[in-house]
Copies of this chain bind each other. A is one copy, B any other.
Amino acid sequence: MSEVFPIEPRLLLGPGPSPVHPRILEALGRPTVGHLDGQFLAVMDDVNERLRRVFGTENALTFPVSGTGSAAQEAAMANVLEPGDTAIIGINGVFGGRLREMARRMGAEVVAVEAEWGRILDPEALVDAHRAHPDARVLAVVHAETSTGVRQPLGEIGQYLAGTDTLFLVDTVTSLGGIPVALDEHGVDVAYSGTQKCLGVPPGLAPISFSERAAERVRTRETPCQSWYLDAGLLAEYVGEGASRKYHHTAPINMMYALHEGLVIAEEEGLPERYERHERVGGILREALLERGFCLFAQEGHRLPQLTAAVLPEGWDEGALRRRLLQEHAIEVGGGLGPAAGTLWRIGLMGHGATEESVERLLAAVDAVRA
C-alpha cells in the first residue's frame, strides 16, 4: 500500500482520533486468531476487567462494542429504551442532540432539557424534568461534550436518580481515560465510550457498561432490542467470563489487541497520574491560548482539560489557518460543529497526545502560520 498511498504521520490534536502509542500500533499487527479461540477470549476478558477499572465500576456487563463510539451510543439507548418510553435528554451540544435523534428513531418520547452550547446542563433543571416525568425510563447526559469542551457534573443527578426507577445514562466518549469516570460512585447505569479519544487507541471499538439494574432492564424488556447486532442480552452470552461463549458475531480481533495494549499502558502510568497529566497540560494550553487572544468557549469552572474549544481572535481565518496547520506543520486540530462552525478550534490533548511537547509544537505552529 505504501507505494499507492504513503501516509504522512500527523500530530493529532483534534477531537479524536488521538495519537497512538507505537506499542499499540505494534499490538494491532499481532497474529489474528479466532473469536472463540481461548487465546482471544483471555485477551477479551482482561480487556473487560481493565475497562471496569477505568470506568470505576464493578458492573459485570462491561465490554467493547464492535463498532465506533456512535455504535455504543446507539447500543446504550437501544438496549434500555422501548417504543413509547420516555427519555429525558440533556442537550448542550452535538452529542446530546444525537442522543435525542437516536431516541426518536427508537420510538421513545423525548423530553429535552437544553442549555446554551458551551454551558453545563443545570442539574436542577434535569431534576425538575424528572419530577414532571417521574416514569421516564432513562435520563441521559454527555459527560464530556466534544463539540463544546464542557465537562458536565454528574454527582447530583446520579444521587437523585438512585432513588427513582429511572436509569442514568452517560456519554463518556471523550472522558474515559482522560478525566475520572466513576460509574458506581455517581450512580451511572449505562455508560459508553470510544477507543480513539483519551485511551489513545485507533477507532474501531467502543467500551460500554451496564449496571445490574440496567442489565435487569435488558433482560425484562417486553419487546426485543431493535438491533440484533447491538443486543446486550445476546452479547452477554458471548462476552462475559461466566458466559456460554455462544457465537454472536466475529469480534474485531486485532482491534481488541490494540485496546488491550492501550489499557495496559494506561494502568502502567496509573490512572490518577494520567488524569493529573491531562489536567495539567490542558491548563497550560488554556493559558497560552488566552495570551494569544483566543476566548475559551466553555463555561469557566467546567472546562475539559482534554478538549479545549477556543474561539479565534477577531480577523483570523479559521478554516485557512487550520488547513495550514495540517499541511505545513502536520498538526490536526478540529473545527467547530453546528452553530460553532467557522469560529473556533477544538483542540484535543488526549491520551498519548496530552503532553507539554504537544502544546509547544502546536503553539509554535500557530505562531508560525500567523507570522
Binding site for B on A (CB under 8 A): 1-2, 4-5, 7-10, 12, 14, 16-17, 19-20, 23, 25-35, 37, 39, 42-43, 46, 66-71, 73-74, 98, 101-102, 104-106, 194, 196, 202-204, 224-229, 247-255, 257-258, 260-261, 264, 326, 332, 337
Contact = CB atoms under 8 A, between A and B. Distances in A.
A225 B105 contact: yes
B17 A31 contact: no
Nearest to A38: B326
A101 B228 contact: yes
A12 B2 CA distance: 27
Nearest to A106: B226
Nearest to A258: B254
Copies of this chain present in the complex amount to 2
Given A12-B34, A26-B29, A5 B67 contact: no
Contact of A32 (B20, B26, B67, B337): B20
A203 B202 CA distance: 15
A254 B33 contact: no
Interface residues of chain A: helix, strand, loop or mixed (majority): loop
Given A34-B332, A70-B229, A74-B229, A202 B5 contact: no
B227 A105 contact: yes
A12 B254 CA distance: 14
12 contacts: A4-B260, A7-B31, A8-B33, A9-B31, A10-B34, A19-B32, A66-B68, A67-B229, A74-B228, A194-B250, A202-B254, A203-B253
Given A71-B229, A74-B229, A261 B1 contact: yes
Nearest to A200: B32
A10 to B, nearest CB: 5
Contacts of A247: 337
B29 A228 contact: no
A123 B29 CA distance: 43
A255 B204 contact: yes
B228 A70 contact: yes
Given A5-B260, A71-B66, A10 B37 contact: yes
Contacts of A30: 1-2, 7, 25
A255 B252 contact: yes
Contacts of A4: 46, 260, 264
| Closest 3 pairs (CB-CB, A-B) | A204-B252, A70-B249, A9-B31
A351 to B, nearest CB: 11
Given A7-B31, A69-B250, 15 more contacts: A1-B27, A1-B260, A5-B39, A5-B46, A17-B250, A20-B31, A25-B32, A32-B196, A33-B332, A69-B249, A105-B224, A194-B250, A202-B253, A202-B254, A203-B253
Contacts of A17: 32-35, 250, 253
Contacts of A67: 66-67, 71, 229
